[in-house]
Structure 1
Amino acid sequence: MKKFYICFLLLLTVKVIAQTSGVGIGIANPQQKLHLANSVGTVRIEGLDKNHNGYNGGLVRPANVTYPLYVDGNGVLTLKMDPYTNSDGSDAIDNSLLPATNLELLAGDTDGKAETTFYTYNIVVTRPIVLEIKYNISFDVYNNSTLTLINDGGARRISTFYTVDSGTRRYGPASKCYFNNATEGVTGTLYNSSTTYIPLAVGSHAIKFKAEVSTATPSIATYVKLAVDTDAVFMRFY
């Protein structure tokens, strides 16, 4: 009977130590709830390997290729990335549905600039985050709203960027310069792309995608049709 009590006390002591200090594999004094000693090796989860998980490309790519590991809202490890928004090959911004995507700079404008907000994302965050934004915006450049081709030899700069809420700071700026002095004039779709990371506080935020067209002053007439092709927007929280 005495041996039974001694064994019981030893088991109880080990259980208490494991509950308060953590569980160690290959180490006597674990520093976390689960502590693997350096000599033991790494963690293997077969549910994430190439044979059991469709997001692991090991079956079609070399076995030594690695993939990012994410944690979902329940603390579950996953290979699947769920961003806030991802156009993923579809058209993120449709010109035909958004009249504001047409930007016009009139001849003789004194500051040589015109600007518009052509799309807004309204998001709500419940903790401080870092927001990653990638975008690719298409546009065509003409002389006026009747889509007359440019042949005046003047240069135009078309810039895209975004602002946050009522702020004026330009995030993710990208620009292209349009110039054409051909007799008949030609056109072709141009693209602006950018990637940025910005901090956001708890609360509601408006991510406003904007464009600006500028020329020498006084300005020369310019008409820009934005979002004319397949446009891409990707946003992810950290």
Structure 2
Amino acid sequence: MKKFTIMPLIILLNFSLHAQVSGVGIDTSNPQQKLHIASPTGTIRVDGLNSPNNPYNGGGVDKTYPLYVDYNGDLTLKTSAYQNSDGGDAYSTAAINGTVAIIPVVQADDGYETVEITSYNFTVARNTILEIKYSISVEVFQDNLLTIIKDAYARNITNFFTIDTPTLLATTRRYAPSSKCYFNRNDIVSNPAALPDAATGYIYNSGTTYIPLTPGSHTLRFYGTVCSGTNNRATYVRFAGGPDAIFLRLY
């Protein structure tokens, strides 16, 4: 005589029917999504994302890594960037406007000048967040002959981004501003022939920001400014002469 186990079959049919209708529930009979884990301590483990199996997982029992969703909807640890210098020099082409100068008499006596260094264009089909990280080198001189500054006046050098502003206005929002103050006091009054007495090389401005973008086309502009005060002291700033970095990502 054959025995039939009816209860497990009923449970399996009920589970299959319920899964087809609304979703799969773990520790719940009323799943609210296609997969619903109701346990307050429940987690999900994907072996394909762990350290032994995934080259983008850096390992370490006390470390975590961001998880992303790619174009196909697959979970991945790999990041994809719109622009990523990735260890190379981000601003090394002839298209980069790398200088800004204050020239007494020729320019307005306000001690302030600005230049658009470069720009990036985006077209997005949905509301998007743009992530920006940058590091740009700065050199400060008195003129385009690269004369070392010897006066007693400080110079403020700033970098920042704007979005969708064809001209820079005082009211324009400035994203990721970063500034350095250059100062080299040399006794030029009593000893004009004194040695430069200043360190040469690169200083850096670095910044990070997130900008919300609406559907459509957008232009991101990167600026550099120099200020020598109302005395309009001669200043020449060279941007991007050294190794620079840029990282842009759309979410």
Shared fold (TM-score, shorter chain, > 0.5): yes
C-alpha contact 2:98 2:241 (8 A) present in aligned 1: no
For 2:71 and 2:228, the matched residues in 1 are separated by: 49
Match in the other structure for 2:134: 135
For 1:140 and 1:20, the matched residues in 2 are separated by: 66
SS of 1:17's equivalent in the other structure is: helix
Task: Kindly provide the amino acid, as one letter, of the partner of residue 48 in structure 2.
Answer: G
1:63 equivalenced with 2:74 (yes/no) = no
Given the alignment, which residue of 221, 230, 233 partners 2:243?
230
Flag the 1:43–1:99 CA change in 2: closer, same or farther, 3 A: closer
Task: Kindly provide the amino acid, as one letter, of the partner of residue 235 in structure 1.
Answer: L
SS of 2:122's equivalent in the other structure is: strand
Per mean C-alpha deviation after superposition, the further-off stretch among 12-21 and 70-79 is 12-21
CA deviations on 1:39-78 (whole Å, 9 max, x unpaired) are: 78322211111221111122xxx33422211111111001
Match in the other structure for 1:170: 174
Given the alignment, which residue of 85, 88, 91 partners 2:86?
88
1:77-156 aligned within 5 A: 77-94=75-92, 97-98=94-95, 100-108=97-105, 109-156=108-155
Task: Kindly provide the amino acid, as one letter, of the partner of residue 155 in structure 1.
Answer: A
Flag the 1:158–1:40 CA change in 2: closer, same or farther, 3 A: closer
Flag the 1:142–1:39 CA change in 2: closer, same or farther, 3 A: closer
Task: Kindly provide the amino acid, as one letter, of the partner of residue 85 in structure 1.
Answer: Q
CA deviations on 1:141-191 (whole Å, 9 max, x unpaired) are: 111111111112221111111111226321111111111123322333111
Shift of residue 83, structure 1, vs aligned partner: 2.0
For normalisation by structure 1, the TM-score amounts to 0.87
C-alpha contact 1:25 1:40 (8 A) present in aligned 2: no
Match in the other structure for 1:200: 213
Flag the 1:36–1:10 CA change in 2: closer, same or farther, 3 A: closer
Match in the other structure for 1:26: 27
C-alpha contact 1:128 1:200 (8 A) present in aligned 2: yes
Task: Kindly provide the amino acid, as one letter, of the partner of residue 141 in structure 1.
Answer: V
Flag the 1:46–1:200 CA change in 2: closer, same or farther, 3 A: same
Given the alignment, which residue of 193, 209, 221 partners 2:222?
209
Per mean C-alpha deviation after superposition, the further-off stretch among 221-230 and 62-71 is 62-71
Could you tell me the percent identity over the aligned residues? 48
Task: Kindly provide the amino acid, as one letter, of the partner of residue 42 in structure 1.
Answer: T
C-alpha contact 1:149 1:184 (8 A) present in aligned 2: no
SS of 2:114's equivalent in the other structure is: strand
Flag the 1:48–1:141 CA change in 2: closer, same or farther, 3 A: same
Shift of residue 131, structure 1, vs aligned partner: 1.2
C-alpha contact 1:70 1:81 (8 A) present in aligned 2: yes
For 2:53 and 2:208, the matched residues in 1 are separated by: 33
Aligned residue pairs: how many? 229
Question: RMSD in angstroms over aligned alpha carbons?
Answer: 2.3
SS of 1:47's equivalent in the other structure is: helix
For 2:45 and 2:96, the matched residues in 1 are separated by: 53
Per mean C-alpha deviation after superposition, the further-off stretch among 194-203 and 34-43 is 34-43
Match in the other structure for 1:184: 195
Task: Kindly provide the amino acid, as one letter, of the partner of residue 120 in structure 1.
Answer: S
SS of 1:224's equivalent in the other structure is: strand
